[in-house]
């Protein structure tokens, strides 16, 4: 497992507030369920500084594009592959809708072969990472060695808007 720590609700309150704000932009169908993640990105070769994803949203449906135009979707092209991992009831399924997978693949596609990129990424996820996401996180960190990747989580608690 890639090292993680629990979010500091005081020092990192801005992350909690931003996730609540982004979740609040979603329709009720998406607002309260599944995992939500947010990455604060400060990487020298990327202009985009924030990435976010919901494990429930793989593509734009209904009016989602208007509500969350910058959300990371399920990628058509990938750098890192998802794998099977157990869900909350123990049954394994392909984890290609997971938030960490979507965000890190989008960032990696933007970085491309710039393995010398430098900077920092703070990746927040509400739920603990599964084995598939831990593998993707470790592969990202291994490929982009000069990017400090910190993973924080909310102890399995979803943030309600």
- Convert the pLDDT of each residue in 12-51 to its tens digit: 999 999 999 999 999 888 888 899 999 999 999 999 999 9
* Phi, psi dihedrals of residue 142, rounded to the nearest 5°: -70, -40
**3-class state of residue 125 by DSSP:** strand
pLDDT for the residue 33 = 80
> Using 50, 70 and 90 to split pLDDT, how confident is the model at 61?
confident
- The dihedral built from the CA positions of residue 49, 72, 24 and 62, taken in this order, carries a sign that is positive
Rounded to an integer, the average pLDDT of 55-66 is: 91
Token look-up 């494990």 returns 55
Q: Is 84 strand, coil or helix?
A: strand
**Cα–Cα distance, 146 to 120 (Å, whole number):** 8
pLDDT value at position 139? 98
Could you read off the pLDDT of 123-135 as tens digits, one per residue?
999 999 999 999 9
Which has the closest alpha carbon to 125: 147, 145, 146, 95?
95
Res. 1: pLDDT tops 80: no
List, as one string, the DSSP characters of 88-109. TTS-EEE-TT-HHHHHHHHHHH
Q: What is the pLDDT of residue 62?
A: 80
User: Which has more pLDDT, 146 or 63?
Assistant: 146
Q: Distance between CA 19 and CA 23 in Å, rounded?
A: 6
Confidence of residue 72 (pLDDT cuts 50, 70, 90): very high
Q: Is the distance from CB of 156 to CB of 128 less than 8 angstroms?
A: yes
pLDDT digit string (tens) for 112-155?
999 999 999 999 999 999 999 999 999 999 999 999 999 999 99
Q: 31, 161 in Cβ contact below 8 A?
A: yes
β-pairing, 147-153 with 119-125? parallel
Q: For residues 81-105, give the mean pLDDT.
A: 96
Contact 1, 153 (CB under 8 A): no
3-class DSSP assignment, residue 13: helix
Task: Show the DSSP H helices in the chain as ranges.
Answer: 13-24, 28-31, 64-67, 99-111, 131-143
């Amino acid at each position: 497992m890639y090292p993680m720590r629990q979010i500091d609700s005081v020092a990192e309150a801005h992350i909690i507030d931003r996730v609540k704000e982004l979740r609040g932009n979603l329709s009720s169908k998406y607002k309260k369920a599944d995992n939500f993640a947010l990455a604060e990105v400060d990487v020298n070769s990327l202009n985009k500084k924030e990435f976010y994803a919901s494990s429930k949203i793989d593509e734009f449906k209904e009016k989602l594009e208007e509500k969350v135009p910058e959300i990371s979707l399920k990628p058509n092209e990938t750098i890192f592959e998802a794998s099977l991992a157990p869900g909350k009831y123990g049954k394994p399924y392909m984890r290609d809708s997971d938030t960490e997978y979507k965000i890190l693949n989008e960032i990696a596609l933007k970085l491309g072969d710039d393995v010398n990129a430098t900077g920092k990424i703070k990746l927040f996820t509400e739920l603990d990472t599964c084995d598939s996401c831990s593998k993707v996180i470790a592969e990202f960190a291994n490929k982009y060695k000069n990017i400090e990747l910190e993973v924080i989580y909310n102890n399995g608690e979803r943030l309600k808007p």
